[in-house]
Amino acid sequence: MTASLEELEEQLSQLRALLREARRARDNTAASRIRGELREAETAWEQALDAEEAAGTTSGEERAARNATPPEPAPSTPPARWGRQEKRSTQGAVPIREQVHQALTLLGAPASPKLISSVYEAFSAEPLVATKLASLRRDEERSFGAQGYARPYYICAALTHDRLTPARGLLAVSVWPLERRIIAPLSQRADFLTHAIGTAEQIQRLSAAGHPPSDTAWQLLHRFALNIPGAYDSDDLDPERVISAAHLEAAVHQESDNAQRRASAERARTQLTEGQQLFGAAPLHDTLRDAGGATR
C-alpha cells in the first residue's frame, strides 16, 4: 500500500531525528543506513506529491493550504551527485535556500556565505551567487514568523555565546541542535575542522560512487588541509588523512567548546522565544534604537 504524503512527512521527521542521534553518538554505520532510508523516503515523498497533483484529488482547501506553506524535502546529507540530482526539471535551477541547505548539510556547522558558495560550486553543476544570500536569513525569519514550523527546515542564524544575538555572517540550519548553532570562543576553529571533515567525506562518497570529484573540490580540500597539522604532506592529498588529522585536533578543543556551547544553549532556551532561538535576540543597539523611537 502506497504511503500518504502525511505518513511520508512523519517518516521524514522521524528519520531526521534518528540521524541526529546517530551523529551525536558518532555511530557512522547507523548514520549511513539512516541517510539511505532518508533519501528513499524523500524520493517517495516527491513521487507521492507528483501523483496527487496529477490525479487532481486534492481538495480546494487542502491545495490552498499546501500552496501557502509548501512542504520541502530536507536531505540530511548530500547524495554523491547532489548538485545535479537536486535540479527540478519543472523549475530549472535549485532554489537558493535549497542550495544553501545542501552546502550547510555537507559542512555540518555554521558557515559564511563565501564558504557556502564555494562548497556548493565545488560539488554542483551550477553556481551559487554569494551576494544572493544577503537577504535570505531575513526572508526565512519573516517566513517563520508567519508560518511557524510549516517547513521542514529554515536557513537561520548562528548565535553568539554571550549575547545570543546573530553571529555576523554565519548561517546555520534550523534542525541542528541549538548547541551546534552557538558560536563560543573555540567554536570557529572547531567548526573549521568540521567543515574539513564534511568536505573530505563528500569527496570519498563521490569517489566510491564512481564520480571523480572536480578539481575545484580537491582545491577546496587542499585549502582546508593546509591549515590542519598533519593533514597534508608534500603532494599527497588524502581525504582519509584530512579526516583523521581534523578529528585529532578537534579532540583537543571538544570538551571545553562543548561545555561553553551547552551552557549558552541552556540559557537561550530559558531566555529566548522559539523564533529568537533560531534567528537570535535583537542586538542591544537595535533594542535601544526601537525604544528611543517609541518615546519620541
pLDDT in tens, 95-150: 899 999 999 999 999 999 999 999 999 999 788 887 778 789 999 999 999 988 88
pLDDT of residue 40: 78
Burial class (CB in 10 A: 0-12, 13-18, 19+), 182: buried
Residue 104: name the closest of 118, 117, 90, 116 by CA.
Answer: 116
Cα–Cα distances (Å) from 240 to 31, 200, 230, in that order, read: 18, 7, 12
CA distance 19 to 263: 24
pLDDT band at 66 (very low <50, low <70, confident <90, very high): very low
pLDDT of residue 88: 41
Q: Look over the chain and give the mean of its residue pLDDT values, rounded to a whole number.
A: 82
pLDDT of residue 222: 96
pLDDT band at 28 (very low <50, low <70, confident <90, very high): confident
Query: Chain centroid to CA 170: how far?
Result: 12
Higher-confidence residue of 84 and 102: namely 102
pLDDT band at 16 (very low <50, low <70, confident <90, very high): confident
pLDDT of residue 209: 92
Mean pLDDT of 147-159: 93
Q: Examine the pLDDT at 26 and tell me if it is beyond 80.
A: no
Cell numbers 563565501 correspond to 114
CA distance 122 to 147: 33
- 243: cell is 579526516
CA distance 21 to 49: 28
Domain ranges in the chain are: 1-77, 92-278
Write the pLDDT tens digit of every residue in 51-64: 765 665 444 444 44
pLDDT of residue 163: 96
pLDDT of residue 82: 60
Q: Examine the pLDDT at 93 and tell me if it is beyond 80.
A: no
CA distance 284 to 97: 28
Write the pLDDT tens digit of every residue in 198-213: 999 999 999 999 999 9
pLDDT of residue 55: 63
Write the pLDDT tens digit of every residue in 259-295: 999 999 999 999 999 999 999 998 755 544 444 554 4
Q: What proportion of the chain, given as a percentage, has pLDDT over 70? A: 79
Mean pLDDT of 214-225: 96
Per the DSSP assignment, residues forming a β-bridge with 182 are 159
Mean pLDDT of 205-222: 95
Model confidence, pTM: 0.69
